Amino acid sequence: MLIDVRHIQKRKASWYYRRKVPASLRAAIGKREIVLRLAGSEAEAIRLYLSVHAEVERQLAQAARVTPAAASREDQTALEVAREAARRVAALGLNSEWTPDEEDANEEGGREAIADAVLKGYHRDEEGDPIGLSQADEAFLSALYRGATARRPDPTLDDAKRLYEKERVRDSKKNKDELERVFKLVAQAIPLTRTLSSLRRDDAKEVRSVMLDSRRPSSVDRYLNTVRAVINHAIEEFDLGTLRNPFMKLKADVRENAEPERKVKRPFTEDEVQAIRRRVLSMAKDDLARIWIILENSGCRLSEVSGLRRVDVHLEDAIPHFDVEWHEARRITTKSSQRKVPLIGPALEAMREAVEATDGPFLFPDYCREGGGGAASAALSKHVRAVTADRKVTTHSLRDRMKDLLRVADVEDAVQDILLGHASGKTASNYGGERARLQVADRALRQALGFPPPERT
């Protein structure tokens, strides 16, 4: 009869056990393939197969235990440990769809041999149970014994945070630091080991209470936005279906004694703007001076200007403008922030100079980098503080000033949102495509800054 058993091949007059070593284990095993001669006869090969197969499984299991990728980190969550166990099982070439109800002697025997090899590394108590079984090996044994029926741990707040950092924050040190700062506050209110499905509205309110301690409502709202985004991302990526995010629509400004935002910040006065402009133009580096002029005459956020690329600028367009959009060096995540910003007056001249001043892809290379936005902010803040010691004004106050100029010019709210990149449910439906929005933004900016309408040909 013909043997139909995995990993057995007949070559010439002999039967061999032949098995490829998973790529993740080759360094530990020292070879790409395990080849062992069983016997010359079919009957003898069958008799020797199970013992040889068990020994190979033991070797692979031992290699899996010492492979760095399989090593359990002390800070792994239960879900991460379970996923690592599943990867270890897959690396051994076992059937990922197997369940204990299936009658597959080879699969079951292989799993038992691997489990025995794992347990040999532990001393036993009086009842025969392993002493000091690691979390990683416990999850690995569960995956071996239960196969596809092994229960996946429910995702926790910590799992949600780690997933968000991996997939959304990635290599941005600034955003990583912000995420850590926010979740240190979350952990003061509720343990990060809490499963997402166990979170309730009262938990979210407790987090808010911790955040409000000695912090402005505007900062707390920003922190709560981060928590909301983390949990929403986890609900989507962990397939949690209709799970409700208890942080949705949770606002910070609920305290009776909360200081109104208008009392903790204000726009620049015109005298302050002129004094800072004179100082920046006479004392700051040319690229920083150009950034200030563009900010002053556009209402943009600092990062939206400092992160500009040459390809974002369209000086020869009928309406000179620049695009604010996502790229690797400057990530714009909100849809409303991605827009076309018109260039007029001093901002147009400053942008022309910026384009001519550099041959590279970035207009402000000193500030279009990791931490560059912070460097630009710190440099401009020195000039702001030289003119006024009032902490209610910062470089961002140029944006608040533009908002006031638009209001005084009777520019309607939806158009203000188009120019400044604020979210507005009315914008798209009222003003159509990008070109139309650029035209209304250009008209609004001219009204606010006192420039006449352009001559159309």
Q: Is 68 exposed, middle or buried (0-12, 13-18, 19+ CB in 10 A)?
A: exposed
Helix (H) or strand (E) holding 209: helix 201-212
Give 31-56 pLDDT, tens digit per residue: 788 888 888 888 888 888 877 887 78
- C-alpha 336: how far from chain center: 19
| Mean pLDDT score of the chain | 85
Cα–Cα dist 162/156, whole Å: 10
Domain 270-449 indexed as CATH 1.10.443.10: yes
pLDDT at position 357, please? 95
Give 131-174 pLDDT, tens digit per residue: 777 788 888 888 888 888 888 889 999 999 999 999 988 777 88
Give 194-235 pLDDT, tens digit per residue: 999 999 999 999 899 888 876 788 889 999 999 999 999 999
Cα–Cα dist 64/56, whole Å: 12
- C-alpha 139: how far from chain center: 27
pLDDT at position 331, please? 66
pTM of the shown model: 0.54
Cα–Cα dist 167/66, whole Å: 28
**pLDDT band at 246, cuts 50/70/90?**
very high
Residue 334 identity (one-letter amino acid): T
What separation in angstroms does the CA of 106 have from each of 8, 44, 264, 270, 453?
Answer: 12, 17, 71, 83, 82
Cα–Cα dist 275/278, whole Å: 5
Of 248, 222, 250, residue with least CA distance to 235: 248
